[in-house]
Structure 1
Amino acid sequence: MRSVVRRTWRKVGEGDYEAAVAMAAPDVRFRFVGDTALGADVRGRAAFRAWFVRFTERLPGVRLELVDVVAGGWPWNTRVAVCLRVVGTLRDGTPYRNVAMQWVTLRWGRMVDDVVVEDTLTLDAALRRLPA
């Protein structure tokens, strides 16, 4: 399962967020923890896709880079922990560097639950510098 997650994150890192959406179950629950403009607790592929659209609109040019993946469990209940680097240049020209952790539950290779925790202090400071 680690290889599937790595392959998906390679695509996501290149800006192909549809790779993550394609891995999601129709009723996926996605949470991006924190009280920021990107904070979310949504259900379903359409809402998951909409979050990625919002992410790319607010932070164009910022990419998610896979650092490490740990996976375990049975095919019907696989737990995956992912460490990510968040890097890029903001619209105002300043560099953006952050770290995020992801906790995913997969059932038969489909993402049913996805929780992402990014350093919200760094994220919020960057989002406040940029126009909405």
Structure 2
Amino acid sequence: MYHAITRAKVRSLWRRIGAGDYLAAVETAAPDVRFRFVGDTPVSAELTGRDAFEDWFRALFARFPGLRLTLRDVVVRGWPWRTTVVVRLDVEATLADGTAYRNEAVQWLTLRWGRMTTDEVFEDTKALDEACRRQAAAS
């Protein structure tokens, strides 16, 4: 039952984030959340703390206005004191030059009593880096 409830909460959270409400994710984060967006791109990051996490999201949505994040699948394992959540996402945006950006991402989370303590995101960095270059060239 716990896993089903957690899956439903994650799905609800991603509906909000997918609609542009990234503060929903920030609200679930522990004050000392550890966040890592893997790769060597302008949006790659390794940071700690809810404020830095919010700043990263704000910059991401500023770089990609209209960014759409759609949940494809969610897997939950563990218990309330240490829950692992794995999410598959579709990532889409229309770049400033009018081209479509499409990618996939996997998110690996650790929750402790409902609070996100770690968040790691893995996305095709080659495609993401190209999208970042297009955005920079168009501005």
Give the TM bin, normalised by the shorter chain: over 0.9
Name 2:17's counterpart in structure 1: 12
Match of 1:129?
134
Extract unaligned runs of 5+ from structure 1. none
Normalising by structure 1, report the TM-score: 0.97
Q: Based on CA coordinates, which of the two structures has the bigger radius of gyration? A: 2
Please give the per-residue CA displacement for 1:67-111, whole angstroms capped at 9, x wherever unaligned: 000001010000000000001211111101000000000000000
TM-score for both structures, normalised by structure 2: 0.93
Greater helix content: 2
Q: Output aligned runs, 1:31-50, within 5 Å.
A: 31-50=36-55
Does residue 121 of structure 2 align to residue 116 of structure 1? yes
After superposition, residues 1-132 of structure 1 pair within 5 angstroms as 1-131=6-136
Question: Structure 2 stretches of 5 or more lacking a match?
Answer: 1-5
Pairwise CA RMSD of aligned residues? 0.8
Amino-acid identity (%): 59
Contact 1:62/1:90 (CA < 8 Å) preserved in 2?
no
